[in-house]
Amino acid sequence: MTKENKPLEAVEIIKAESNYLRGTIANGLQQQITGSLALDDTQLTKFHGIYQQNDRDSLVERRKLKLEPLYSFMIRARVAGGICTPKQWLVMDGLADKYANASIRLTTRQAFQLHGVLKKNLKSTIANINQSLLDTIAACGDVNRNVMCTPNPETSQAHQSVYEVAQRISEHLTPNTTAYHEIWLDKKKLASDSDHEPIYGASYLPRKFKIVLAIPPSNDVDIFAHDLGFIAIIEDGKLTGFNITVGGGMGCTHGDGKTFPLLSQVIGFCQTDQVCEVSEQVVKIQRDFGDRSNRKHARFKYTIDDRGIDWFKDELQKRLGWNLKPEKPYEFTTRGDQFGWSKNHDGSLNLTLFIENGRISDNKAIKLKSAIKTIALLNLGEIRLTANQNIILAKLNTQDKRAVEEILSANNIVHPQSQLIDNAMACVALPTCPLAMAEAERYLPQLLNKIESIQLKYGIENRPIVTRMTGCPNGCARPFLAEIGFVGKASGRYNFYLGGSFHGDRLNQLYRENINEESILEELDILLKDYSLSSTEDEFFGDFVIRKNYVNTVTHGSQVHPINLNVS
């Protein structure tokens, strides 16, 4: 039972009785009569970076043949701060070919995903990832997940310092259990090994927890969308500390007015050497006060929203034993990735490449996976994953530039694309995500081409609009922060949202509910025509639709769906 004597969610019982995330996973891996794991174990494997999925495209045919669903697994590898070496990239590339579906997915949290891994190949895949000095532990599950950080080294000379802070947070908040190493790496448990979890406890957190670090003026990590954020304060070229943000989160549930996305709030400033202590105590507050009776209400954003920001600040400072300092001035002027070549403060070069919805694969026309593999084989600089599903080939020298350009050209890779496409994102959705209600990754490119035709008709194709689509309201591609957002409701039908801020500091609002492509394009024709005729020169589309009263300004997440305007 919870502190309020409400029944615990079933997942809470599974975690508590799991022997620190072991469950019966090891035994289930040996059972080759089925491609799946036990239902309870599929909750625990998330903590190990693994989701059980099935090919929903083949469900009907397999039922006719009286076969079980075509089960496979998604494996997510953590990349703290988004920086990996060419050698690590080559490991993921090889595993994609050998064990997965010959593609790599870059997530909106700067992580790698492999899809289509069969149960019999799970241990080999994870062992190879681990040997590359990456891992999958805590990439999913009710713990702190991959710590994100602005990956652009040209942002400031202080980038390396901020990146190192991200790494320290990630290491500090990694679960203490040795279950991962025992199950996946065949390490024997020693008498000295402790299963005590000093930060998480035996039941871990009520829900997932996400931490990001941003370096103004770039908000390329969407800092206000996350549970805990640190905004780097740079003075005289040096990192002096961070403003702290708390209480953001994107997910909600269709038709449930008690669930909604929320933006985080700035609560003060801390010094660089205090960041891990702040992170730990914030996580512990969520551990102790988060809702364990209702997973739809279990995210940290509700813990703060229910009790108020002043309560949270008092509780945090009581646990810290010292007071946060007042927040320091900062400004975000950019949000997305800046494509093409750029120069770092040390004179080295970067190339930011657009990756359509984060999918690294080859097709008949464009050999994207092959091109990046060829570049990685040259062992040049670093490869950085952005929070917008793109990559940066970083720290190259002038001699490298020609070689990289030749490889990209030979594989038909053009960069950048267009203002609309470069500012768009989609989640994986169908056919593998079990939560998906509609297409996203496979469908958004087609829809964008049709939207771009409308822009061309009205002469506004050079004006950027942040557009995002997800197959369900969990919000993995952060659609509620888009100027144009689409959230899957059913096959071929979407909720249509307008009015997010171009800089990521305002939620959007539902404009039309449960509409198909024809209706989407009809509505956008009206909106974009008006935008072309009535907007000011530098007015962003999200600001325009609010000024023209198509939607209202959202000041609290409960206003995202207008029926829920009862904000106290």
Catalytic residue among 78, 109, 119, 145: 145
pLDDT in tens, 223-276: 999 999 999 999 998 999 999 999 999 999 999 999 999 999 999 999 999 999
In the residue annotation, 208 being an active-site residue is answered as yes
In the residue annotation, 76 being an active-site residue is answered as yes
In the residue annotation, 84 being an active-site residue is answered as no
Catalytic residue among 84, 149, 270, 427: 427
Tell whether 546 is covered by a domain: yes
Tell whether 426 is covered by a domain: yes
Residues 6+ away with beta carbon under 8 Å from 158: 215, 232, 234, 237, 238, 239
Is residue 474 helix, strand or coil?
coil
From start to end of 194-346, where are the E strands? Answer: 211-214, 228-235, 238-246, 265-270, 340-343
Residue 565's pLDDT band, with cuts at 50, 70 and 90, is: very low
**Burial classification of residue 292, based on how many CB atoms lie within 10 Å of its CB (0-12 exposed, 13-18 middle, 19 or more buried):** buried
Catalytic residue among 15, 105, 109, 208: 208
Catalytic residue among 105, 476, 478, 489: 476
Question: The CATH number of the domain where 544 resides is what?
Answer: 3.30.413.10
Model confidence at 156: pLDDT above 70: no
Is residue 408 helix, strand or coil?
helix
Q: In degrees rounded to 5, what are phi and psi of residue 147?
A: -80, 125
Structure tokens, 115: 């899809």
pLDDT in tens, 437-474: 999 999 999 999 999 999 999 999 999 999 999 999 99
Q: Cα separations (Å) of 28 from 40, 45, 525? A: 11, 11, 53
Catalytic residue among 301, 472, 478, 506: 472
The secondary structure of 169-202 as a DSSP string is HHHHTS---SHHHHHHH-PPPPTT-----TTT-T
Q: Are residue 168 and residue 238 in the same domain, yes or no?
A: yes
The reported pLDDT for the residue numbered 154 is 67
Quote the CA–CA distance of 24 and 36 in Å, as a whole number.
13
Tell whether 37 is covered by a domain: no
Quote the CA–CA distance of 191 and 186 in Å, as a whole number.
16
The one-letter code for the residue type at 80 is A
Determine the structural domain holding residue 377 and report its residue range: 340-417
In the residue annotation, 427 being an active-site residue is answered as yes
In the residue annotation, 252 being an active-site residue is answered as no
Please give the average per-residue pLDDT across 44-58, as a whole number: 95
The reported pLDDT for the residue numbered 191 is 64
Give the CA dihedral 445, 451, 452, 454, nearest 10 degrees.
Answer: 160
In the residue annotation, 119 being an active-site residue is answered as no
Residue 3's pLDDT band, with cuts at 50, 70 and 90, is: low
What's the domain count of the chain?
A: 3
Q: Are residue 155 and residue 278 in the same domain, yes or no?
A: yes
Q: Are residue 331 and residue 376 in the same domain, yes or no?
A: no
- In degrees, rounded to 5, the angle at the alpha carbon of residue 31 between the alpha carbons of residues 25 and 33 is 140
Quote the CA–CA distance of 213 and 219 in Å, as a whole number.
9
Quote the CA–CA distance of 473 and 523 in Å, as a whole number.
21
Of 335, 368, 401, which marks where a domain is finished? 335
Of 417, 438, 464, which marks where a domain is finished? 417
Tell whether 248 is covered by a domain: yes
In the residue annotation, 145 being an active-site residue is answered as yes
Model confidence at 524: pLDDT above 90: yes
Of 290, 315, 335, which marks where a domain is finished? 335
- In degrees, rounded to 5, the angle at the alpha carbon of residue 56 between the alpha carbons of residues 55 and 59 is 100
CA 389 to chain centre: 9
The reported pLDDT for the residue numbered 515 is 98
Residue 347's pLDDT band, with cuts at 50, 70 and 90, is: confident
